[in-house]
Structure 1
Amino acid sequence: MKPPTLLSRPAHRALAGIATFALLWELAARGLDLPAYVLPSVSSILEAVVAQRSLLGQAAWTTIMEAVCGFALGSAGGIVLAILLTMLPPARRVLLPAATALNSVPVVAYAPLVLLWLGMGPASKVAMVSLAVGFTVFLHALAGLDRVDRRAVDLMRSFGAGPATILWRLRIPAAVPLTAAGMRVSTARSMIVAIVTEMLGAQSGLGWTIYQAVLQIDFVQVWSAIFVASAASLAFFGLVNLVEKRYVFWK
């Protein structure tokens, strides 16, 4: 019997790809003697991460909390809105075009208004992440709720099932896989929106750290914050992906 492994084959491949890319980056930066403002070496970036681990850790915690809270609120809001519009076709015909029009504008464009309304604190970042995630999850959930066999709906109606029973027994199970995929995709988007909003106006967080480092012309610090943000985003994505594989087993 083969011994159990902690990582799957795709995870091994991903780690091997990251290690190869980091090695090529290191060789290019040192072999071409590139200045730090063009491309610092991986080793110098990792040294900066270790040296500034306390500052970066606090900033990462702030950004992660904003992203996770916004992700949870946006996912819940998107799912609830999709269910309401599925149950109320007249409202769907009115609200769906409006939601589509709002989604056609880059979410970051709303950042100045949200910062003006909610201030520089975490509330504005959570609101922005909720807005970005909510649109994505809403569209995925709505598509999933619509992805049912009409013959199955007619069969349940012939047995006297009402709209609520059809929703609970048929539509929601059919919508869960696509909704989970939308939530998985939104993990990276939540971190991006939180960081960008922090760069536009904040008092802490990875985005604020990156902005301050740019003002101080400390490009190694910029890359160290980017490395930490990438690691946090990958961890968040991996966690949501793991939950999806564990509980959405019928997709």
Structure 2
Amino acid sequence: MSGALRDGLLGAALFLLLWEGVVRLFGVPPWILPPPSGILVTTWAARASLLPAMLATGQEALAGYAIGAVLGILLAMLLALAAPLRRLLLPVIIAVNAVPVAAYAPLALLWFGTGPLSKIVMVAFVVGFTVFLNTLDGLLRVDPAGIALLRSFGASRLGVMRRLRLPAALPDIAIGLRVSTVRSMIVAIVTEMLGSQSGLGWTIYEAVLQIDFLRVWAAILLASLLSLAFFGAVGVLERRVVFWR
């Protein structure tokens, strides 16, 4: 076990112990802040419904993440190669994404229904923008001398992209992919809360209506664990691909 992981687990354990102690010492009502032990008991008791909800949210987030990441990288490559197109489209892309994602969620539900497709589209939209900006920044920050050297040897623009721009942009792409893991989960859950029949977002919304706050916290716990697992998996992949960092 690495030192960072060990310290992280120790910090989490101390935080949970402090939380448990404060809640019990001051008699905080469960509907304000339940103890971690109560959340764990509820999670285990409701696992038959919570685990399928977690699986549904995870599938939506993962599918949207993959689609958005690929589209974001491809769009960044296109605009890096075509400066006039970049000047034309970049302000429009930024303007569209300046609007809070919750504003687009009702439209996605209207166009694509309350099934998984609307959540996948929303996740792809948000992830794609994040990955696009990081990738484009990395592609455009390449040393001009390196580009000139490759062009002097007869490399085409696509050759420069493949041999120089993309390898140099890998650290920026990795940052965009890592940041997008958490955003994908947030967007999937928010969209589920606005319209769905499954997933952790719907579970949270339903539990709030039923005033079942322990179940709300149980769903939040599973969403957090899912986000951490997703973040960690992308981090491991990043360390293998961008090994020189």
TM-score (norm 1): 0.96
Letter in 2 for 1:103: N
Matches within 5 A, 1:1-251: 7-251=1-245
Letter in 2 for 1:25: W
CA distance in structure 1 between the partners assigned to 2:150 and 2:226 by the alignment: 45
CA distance in structure 2 between the partners assigned to 1:224 and 1:64 by the alignment: 16
Per the TM alignment, residue 134 of structure 1 is displaced from its structure 2 partner at its CA by: 0.4
Question: CA offsets, 1:149-184, max 9 Å, x none?
Answer: 011111111111110111100000011111011000
**Number of residues paired by the alignment?**
245
Question: CA offsets, 1:97-152, max 9 Å, x none?
Answer: 10111121112210010100001000000000000100000000000101210111
Structure 1 segments (4+ residues) deviating >2 Å = none
Taking only aligned residues, the RMSD between alpha carbons, in angstroms, comes to: 0.7
Tell me the SS of whatever aligns to 2:238: helix
CA distance in structure 2 between the partners assigned to 1:19 and 1:12 by the alignment: 11
Tell me the SS of whatever aligns to 1:75: helix
CA distance in structure 1 between the partners assigned to 2:5 and 2:205 by the alignment: 32
Letter in 2 for 1:61: L
Per the TM alignment, residue 91 of structure 1 is displaced from its structure 2 partner at its CA by: 0.9
Letter in 2 for 1:184: R
CA distance in structure 1 between the partners assigned to 2:138 and 2:97 by the alignment: 18
Identity percentage over the alignment?
56
TM-score (norm 2): 0.99
User: Which range is displaced more, 150-159 or 231-240?
Assistant: 150-159
CA distance in structure 2 between the partners assigned to 1:183 and 1:22 by the alignment: 29
Letter in 1 for 2:210: Q
